[in-house]
């Protein structure tokens, strides 16, 4: 469905077909790859932005690049003053922006969509940035739940761990 929406694809194609962006297919995130997660967030955020007459092009571009961090985040179980997951939550929007800015020309709104998507660790300055932050959390919740279900299933059925 996503890849058949010509309006979405016209804006998304130059980003998702970029060699560096394709690298995100190899990085697992929640229950799938960062690539799949980002395209999904961009598509749902775009649908809301388009329906409400907002800047849907900036919404697509900002959302596609919101997690453009290109490394595998590993949670450490060791006790630390600041847990790794909090550090990741604070730092990855900045890294995503750094990478995005290196390969693509971003406007101010797109920059803020990326940097502020982890609200309250950043502050969205536009309706579009609020939408992306909300859609990202909404989708991540389902991805976490799906990943958790799979983990429980594997524990109960170790034979499938092969």
Smallest separation (angstroms) from Fe ion to the CB of 96: 7
Confirm or reject binding of residue 45 to Fe ion (CB under 5 A): no
Give the relative orientation of helices 108-115 and 127-156 as an angle to the nearest 10 degrees: 30
Taking the least distance from each CB to Fe ion, the nearer of 28 and 154 is 28
Smallest separation (angstroms) from Fe ion to the CB of 23: 16
Taking the least distance from each CB to Fe ion, the nearer of 38 and 126 is 38
Taking the least distance from each CB to Fe ion, the nearer of 98 and 153 is 98
- The three-state secondary structure class of 91 is helix
Buried b (16+ CB within 10 A) or exposed e, 92-128: bbebbbebbeeebebeebbbbbbbbbbbeebebebeb
What is the spatial distance between Cα 94 and Cα 67, in angstroms, rounded to a whole number? Answer: 10
Smallest separation (angstroms) from Fe ion to the CB of 135: 9
Confirm or reject binding of residue 136 to Fe ion (CB under 5 A): yes
- Is the bond preceding 6 in cis, omega lying within 30 degrees of 0? no
Smallest separation (angstroms) from Fe ion to the CB of 146: 15
Confirm or reject binding of residue 67 to Fe ion (CB under 5 A): yes
Taking the least distance from each CB to Fe ion, the nearer of 67 and 110 is 67
Total residues in contact with Fe ion, by rule CB under 5 A: 2
CB atoms within 10 A of CB 161: 7
Contact positions vs Fe ion (CB under 5 A) = 67, 136
């Amino acid at each position: 469905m996503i890849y058949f929406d010509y309006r979405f694809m016209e804006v998304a194609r130059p980003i998702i077909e970029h060699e560096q962006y394709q690298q995100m297919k190899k990085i697992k995130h929640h229950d799938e790859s960062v690539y799949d997660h980002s395209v999904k967030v961009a598509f749902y955020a775009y649908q809301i932005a388009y329906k409400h007459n907002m800047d849907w092009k900036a919404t697509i571009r900002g959302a596609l690049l919101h997690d453009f961090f290109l490394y595998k985040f590993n949670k450490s179980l060791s006790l630390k003053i600041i847990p790794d997951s909090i550090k990741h939550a604070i730092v990855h929007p900045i890294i995503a922006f750094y990478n995005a800015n290196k390969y693509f020309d971003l406007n101010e709104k797109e920059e803020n969509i990326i940097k502020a998507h982890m609200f309250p660790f950043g502050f969205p300055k536009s309706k579009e940035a609020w939408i992306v932050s909300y859609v990202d959390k909404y989708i991540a919740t389902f991805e976490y739940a799906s990943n958790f279900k799979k983990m429980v299933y594997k524990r109960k059925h170790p034979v499938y761990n092969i």
